[in-house]
Amino acid sequence: MATKRKLDLSGTDETAEQTSSEAKTKRVKIYLESSSGSLTKEDVEKSSQSSNKIADRNEKPVKGKDEKVARKDEPSTIIPITINIGRNETSTYKYVDTKDKFIEVMKELQEMIKNKQMIAVDCEGVNLSRFGSVTLINIGTRDLVYLIDILKIGNSVFDDGLRSILEDSGIEKLMFDCREDADALLHIHKVRLNGVLDVQILEVNNRIHVYRNGYTKIRSLKHCLELYVIDDTLVNIKLQGRSSMNMSSNIWEKRPLDENMLKYASVDILSLFKLYDALRTRMSHIVWKAAPSRYCDNARSKNRTYRDGSGILPKGIIL
């Protein structure tokens, strides 16, 4: 008498909710009952392979909303770098070279400004003026400096929040010799710098009548640090950066920027707070705030055919 072979498949439903272990342990029972309509060994193997595929799919993480939520909880993508600014004294800087990082930074800056923290601003570039370029805009407090790479992110940074900070007269900004920064920002990026407290003017105020004919020599940032800051840490960092700049006139347009240049840019911000602490009593705040506005206009409002920076304080700046 001919025998029949009968295949009985039983197990849990093959749904997305089925776990990996359930799919893999799906039971396959084979009963031999008849030769007609029988399933071959190959059919059984295909059924087993199908169960394994279901298990593999269930082992993979589910993408979508949960994954997006996880990304929100990820730590900041900007790595803060510690920099020594004096004996047993440190600060930090963050190099900002993507739009996502910039958006994150703007939120932090706006919070600092809201909390009335004093900020400082400085620009770096090649032949910094309307005749050159602005490649880095640096903004910071005593504790943290943001080095914003305009060359890599693009001009969108101005419309994404930077313009409103730079142009707002109510947001006071420490700077040092703001003339060419103001000239470059206005003529290249259509940003009218405002709210400046220029530390160079603060330093020169007590020497305003030293020289004949109403002219007074202005001092460099390095010279001021040597005169008014006892520790030479900041000066040494500037000297290292200056050495690199002497080897390449367009170093601020080269990428990646090396560590010496990032530290140099950071010190140009951090040193302003040191000088401010040393010189803040030299003139009234109202007089001081009015003078830099004229200082900015002295460069950006003139018709110029070349960068004509001068080592002499123009007449009529300090009234």
Got the DSSP string for 47-101?
HHHHHHHHHHHHHSPPPSHHHHHHHHTSPPSSPPEEEEEETTEEEEEEEE-SHHH
Q: State residue 16's pLDDT score.
A: 42
Give CA–CA dist 113/217, Å, rounded. Answer: 34
Give CA–CA dist 189/6, Å, rounded. Answer: 82
Cα–Cα distances (Å) from 119 to 140, 143, 166, 174, 233, in that order, read 5, 10, 11, 6, 21
pLDDT digits (tens, 9 = 90+) for 213-224: 667 889 999 999
Give CA–CA dist 52/280, Å, rounded. Answer: 75
Give CA–CA dist 86/236, Å, rounded. Answer: 11
Q: How many Cα neighbours within 13 Å face the side chain of 203?
A: 27
Q: In this predicted structure, which of 9-23, 115-129, 281-295 has the lowest mean pLDDT?
A: 9-23
Q: State residue 256's pLDDT score.
A: 96
Q: State residue 316's pLDDT score.
A: 87
* Nearest CA-CA partner of 295 in 180, 188, 143, 210: 180
**Residue 142 neighbours by CB distance under 10 Å:** 18
DSSP bridge partners of 120: 140, 174
**Residue 105 neighbours by CB distance under 10 Å:** 22
| The token pair that represents 201 in the structure block | 């003017």
pLDDT digits (tens, 9 = 90+) for 3-52: 444 444 444 444 444 444 444 444 434 433 434 444 454 554 555 555 45
Give CA–CA dist 116/134, Å, rounded. Answer: 27
pLDDT digits (tens, 9 = 90+) for 157-208: 999 999 999 999 999 999 999 999 999 999 999 999 999 999 999 999 878 7
Q: Look at residue 7 and give its three-state secondary structure.
A: strand
| The token pair that represents 165 in the structure block | 């900070």
* Nearest CA-CA partner of 166 in 147, 145, 150, 190: 190
> Please, are residues 162 and 107 in contact by the beta-carbon 8 Å criterion?
no
Q: State residue 210's pLDDT score.
A: 58
Residue 138 region, left (φ>0) first, then alpha (ψ -120 to 50), else beta?
beta
Residue 306's pLDDT band (boundaries 50, 70, 90)?
confident
